[in-house]
Every structure is written in C-alpha cells, then in structure tokens.
Amino acid sequence: MLPKGGLKHATEGISYLFAQGRGKAASSVLRYYGFFHELFDTLSERSGIFSIGYSADPSRADITEAQAELPRQTAKGLPRPGKWLDVGCGMGGPACLLASENPDVEITGINITPHHVEEANRRAKEQGLADRVSFRLGDALAMPLPDSSLDGLYAIETAFHYNGKARFIQEAMRILKPGGAFAVADIAWGGSGEGLTERIRMAPIRWTMASPELFTENQWCENLAAAGFTQIACEDISRETFGLLGRWKERAVAHLPELRQKYPEALLRMMIAGFEYYAGRPEKIPVRYILVRARKDPGAARRLPGALSIDTRAAPDIHKKTVLANTNIRRPLYGIFNRRHNP
C-alpha cells in the first residue's frame, strides 16, 4: 500500500519514463519514491533535502545542519560564478540552499518525478530564487540540455538509482563546458563487486535502495577516465555520513507518532532497529559513502553520446599505469572508515 498521494506521484513519473522509452528500466525508482516520499519528507522536516548529511563530528551533529552541509561539501569545487546542473534534484532543497549561499550561481535541476519537480519550483519561488533556480523533468541518462552548456554538475545521493552510470558519466561529459567540474556524493559498494558471492551479498542492498546497479569506487574512477575526465579524485566520507545513523535513530523516534499514521509499525521499527544496529557497528555496513570529483579537460573535444562504454568487470585495475596515464587519479585506500587526505 502506498501512502496518500504516493500512487498518483508514482504513476505520473512512470508515464513520463515510458514516454522517454525508459519505463521498464527506471519505474522501480518511481515506485520507491511513491512509497517513501512521506517518510523522507517527514524525517527531513520538510527541508526538501533528503540526503543522510555530513558532519566532521557526526555523533554530536544536528541533523538539519548536517543535511545542509552535504550539498556544500559536494559543490565546493564547482566553478563560481557559473551555471550548474543538479541531477536528481528531488524536492529542490539542495539547489535552493546552494543558490542562496552563492548569489553568482544559476542552477537548473532535473528529476524524473513530476511531483518533485513541481514542489522544487514552488520552493524556489517561495524563497525568491526563481530568477536563478529552476527545475524540469529530465533523465540523468539523457539530459535535456545542449552540449557544452554548463560550468558544473553535481548529483547528491541519487546516482545509485541509475541503471547505466557509464551513460550518466558520458552525458555529463557532453553537457559540461571544457574545464567544467563534476561532483557526485553517492553510496558505493564496499567490496569488489565481482563474482557470485559478491552479487548475492549485493542483491538485498540493491533491492532495498531501488538500485539496479551499484558501482564500486574503482568503477567510478574507471568510467570517468574512459569518458575523458581528468583530475579524478574519490574521497571516502563514510565516517562523516554513516556516522550520523545514531542521530537519525533519534529523529525517527521523535517522529514516530506522525509516521505511524502513514506507515506500518513493523516497517518503522525495522528502520529504527537498522539505524541503531549500524550506528554501533559501522564495520558491518556493506556499502561506503564516497565523494567523487573530476574535471572535463579544458581542451576536450565533444564526445558523441554513447560513443564510449566500458565493461567494468573486465576493466584493468585502477592502479595500473595504463589507466592512470594522463588522468591524475588519486589512488584509493580501502576500509570503510579509512580517511583519504588529498595531496
């Protein structure tokens, strides 16, 4: 059973996807948000920011401020002044926050959920930002934007939904201007992603998150390099993000009376138990939270959509010189809470 309004929102989105020829591939994401929209909106206290958040001191963080900090961390390397794209913009909270704090920036957001786009545009208008912030229906794998038209692109906690992240990366290369910046904050698989055992371990996580394809950190780096991006850097921010799970448990408990009117008690208890379990056992979390940054080479020629694709299962190891040549990839470290310090 979907919460009130959830079926309508999911149906609108699925109709859009089928019109784009991608209904079968991505409709599970629409059903996911049709069901969980009210849960996310309630837990985020109507801020329009649905992400987990970021804090240097997660055990004592304020969740509202931590949620605002993740967009700031993600976008801090994007060109200013500039025109940015928010891919998978949700309800528009991150874009409105960033625009309000960066008056020399214009932001366009795209999303496959019509209801979210409508609410995001309402938010921008109410905050007096509609002259610099706008939202429209759009697919991350076929962005409705011209070539070399934007200075920066970011995606916050949405790319794990994409069924074809290599295509997303190619589209980012296409729409960014030479020298443009790419930034993604996302959930990545913590293992190798290879072999039957890994696929079995990954299956329930993918199902729970409506994630048809979970990249590892290496797969992000490999695909960015293959598409022609340079200055590729990947930072593990699991401690600063998953470290907030204890705080999320507290927020969920505080909102239980409201949530009980919309969701089954068993689901809510399972969610709270999950927050509590992983907050006390971070080493058990099978995924990692990473921040990926890259640049389109200032001299890059336009690449035709679909011109590049690599089989990440057969790709060479990211540490080999054949992959590292001319890409400036910083070597990753492993372990969920291994902190990466950029040189």
Cα-Cα-Cα-Cα dihedral sign, residues 243, 258, 124, 5: positive
Mean pLDDT, the chain, as a whole number? 83
Alpha-carbon distance of 36 to 17, in angstroms, equals 19
Q: Which two tokens stand for residue 335?
A: 């372990």
pTM above 0.85, yes or no: no
Q: Residue 294: inside a domain, yes or no? A: yes
Helix (H, G, I), strand (E, B) or coil at 51: coil
Helices 114-126 and 6-19 cross at an angle (nearest 10°) of: 110
What phi and psi values does residue 177 have, to the nearest 5 degrees? Answer: -70, 155
- The per-residue pLDDT for range 260-289, each reduced to its tens digit, is 999 999 999 999 999 999 999 999 999 999
Position 142 in a domain = yes
pLDDT value at residue 208? 82
Tell me the catalytic residues: 157
Indicate the helix (H) or strand (E) that contains 236.
Answer: strand 229-236
Total domains in the chain come to 1
Q: Find, among 71, 68, 111, the residue nearest to 90 by Cα.
A: 111
Q: Is residue 1 part of a domain?
A: no
Q: What is the CATH number of the domain that holds 193?
A: 3.40.50.150
Torsion of CA 241, 273, 27, 15, to 10 degrees: -100
- Give residue-wise pLDDT tens across range 283-319: 999 999 999 999 999 987 544 444 333 333 333 333 2
Domain membership of residue 205 (yes or no) is: yes
Whether residue 8 lies inside any domain: the answer is no
DSSP alpha helices (H): ranges in 76-194? 93-101, 114-126, 165-175
